[in-house]
Every structure is written in C-alpha cells, then in structure tokens.
Amino acid sequence: MEAEGLDWLLVPLQQLVSWGAAAAMVFGGVVPYLPQYRDIRRTQNADGFSTYVCLVLLVANILRILFWFGRHFESPLLWQSAIMILTMLLMLKLCTEVRVANELNARRRCFAAADSKDEEAKVAPRRSFLDFDPHHFWQWSSFADYVQCVVAFAGVAGYITYLSIDSTLFVETLGFLAVLTEAMLGVPQLYRNHRHQSTEGMSIKMVLMWTSGDAFKTAYFLLKGAPLQFSVCGLLQVLVDLAILGQAYAFARHPQKPVPHTVHPASTKAL
C-alpha cells in the first residue's frame, strides 16, 4: 500500500522534473545573452561582443534542424534551435544598429574637427552581402544583409539535405557538423580576447551562464541518450567556456598597460 502511495506521488513529480528539464533546454540557451544584450543597449557599444558568435550559432542550429529531418532526436533540442536562431538575429540587429550609429557619429566628429568641405567623399561606402566581398564578410551595414545571408545558407543547405536525406553517412556527418560548429561557439570570443589581450566589454555573466548551461546540456544529452556527437561536442564546449573564464581571470590580474598614441582625426576604431 505504501509503495502505491509513493508511486502516486513520485510519478507526477518525475513528470514535473522532466518538463522542467525540457523547458530549461528550450529556453536556457538564450538566457546567457540577456546580460550582454542589456549591456550593449545601455552602453551603446558592441565592441566587446564578437558577432561571429552569432554566425557560429546560426550555422550550428540551422544544421541541427536539418539533421532532425534525417534522424529525429529530442523535441526540446529542436525547439531550442528555433528559439536560438531568433535570438541571434535579435543580437545581430542590435549590434548592427549600434555599430552603424557609432560609425556615423565618429564621422560627424571627424568632419566637425577637420571642418571638411568634401564630406561626401569621405563617407565610407555601404557594405552589402550582395557585394560578395570576402573582406567585409559578416561586417555589413544593414541587418537585412545578415538576414539575406542566413536565408541563402539555409536554402542551399536545405536543398543539399533534401537530395541526400537517404544517405546515412550524410545524415550522421550533418549531425556531427552541427554539434561541432556549436562546440566552437566560444572560439571567436576566445580569439578576440587573445588578440586584444583584454576582456573589456565582454559580459562575464554571459560566459558564466554559457559554462553552467553547457554543463547542464551535456548532462542532459548523456541522460537522455542523445546521439554521441551531442555529448562529445558538449564537453568540448564546456572546455572552451572554461578557457574564456581563464582569460578573464588572467587579464584581470595582469591588465595590459595602455600605450599612448596620437589619434588621427579621420581614424575610427576597428570592430
């Protein structure tokens, strides 16, 4: 009788925990970007955040959705991908608006300082996705260009997947590429920090949430019996997160001394 009473209590509890874990998987991935989004809006400066993080996540989650058509996996992971794509597009929209506004303000200050009469000749040309200029890839002047790139990639990848969906080798390779790309999520931020020898402008809260979220995600993959690619690349993701936290600690203890230099009126900070 006691066992039946415990079952009556444990079954709904287990179901509740399962729903909670699924909800955490669906929405937990976007939570780390909330403090970074808020910081960019507050400071109107996106220099500390690498937009290549958005590129990595957009590619990874588009490939993961395509992988689902060849090999079904947990539904929360599928919904997580859709929500992450929308989140990254919002991050790109904000970063692009802030960067373009800052570039415009910098040019106005330069014109005012130099009292230039040939303002139009000094205005930088608009960078567009349709220019197909590799030097300006993912540094375009309009959010619409990023959307065009994402749609073009999704269309081409979707068409190739449609033609090759019956190939087990292709499907497994697609799944591996999806999770491997996502595992490289922190690499652009890691490289940026190394290049600048600083983590200024990067939200430490975001990286801490990355680490805790990736650790939870990896455990979820293992417990739910997700494809092996998911677990291996999840572990790799945790290691990259820890490396970024190590950078933050090292640069905080040994900050780089600023080198005095003369700023030319027409120069602008490289993004």
pLDDT of 82 over the 90 cut: yes
**Does the pLDDT value for residue 236 go beyond 90?**
no
Q: Give the residue among 251, 202, 263 at the shortest CA–CA distance from 43.
A: 202
Could you state, in order of their start, the residue ranges of all structural domains in the chain? 1-108+135-167, 185-255
pLDDT digits (tens, 9 = 90+) for 94-146: 999 998 888 777 777 766 666 554 544 455 567 777 777 788 888 888 999 99
pLDDT of residue 11: 65
Contact between residue 193 and residue 251 where contact means Cβ atoms under 8 Å apart: yes
At 262 the pLDDT is 37
Q: What is the DSSP string of 100-127?
A: HHHHHHHHHHHHHHHT-S-HHHHSPPPP
Residue 186 contacts residue 248 (beta carbons within 8 Å): no
Give the amino acid at 196.
Answer: H
Please tell me the distance from the alpha carbon of residue 239 to that of residue 242, in angstroms, as a whole number: 5
Mean pLDDT of the chain: 80
If you ran DSSP here, which 8-state letter would residue 198 be given? -
Please say whether the beta carbons of 113 and 157 come within 8 A.
Answer: no
**Token representation of residue 122:** 């000094």
Nearest C-alpha neighbor of 85 from the set 143, 128, 30:
30
- The total number of residues written for the chain in this structure: 271
Distance from chain centroid for Cα 246: 20
Contacts of 269 by beta carbon, 8 Å cutoff, 6+ apart: 47, 106
Architecture of domain 185-255: Up-down Bundle (1.20)
- Res 75: pLDDT: 83
**Which pair of tokens denotes residue 130?**
């349709």
> Taking CA 229 as the corner, what is the angle to CA 187 and CA 179, rounded to the nearest 5 degrees?
35
pLDDT surpasses 50 at 239: yes
CA 139 to CA 129: how far, in whole Å?
A: 9
- CA torsion sign for 3, 6, 8, 12 is negative
Per-residue pLDDT, averaged over 49-71, amounts to: 91
Per-residue pLDDT at 195 exceeds 70: yes
Average pLDDT over residues 257-263: 43
Taking only the tens place, the pLDDT of each residue in 30-42 is 888 888 899 899 9
pLDDT tens, position by position, 142-194 = 999 999 999 999 999 999 999 999 999 999 899 888 888 888 878 888 888 88
- The pLDDT, as a whole number, for residue 112 is 65
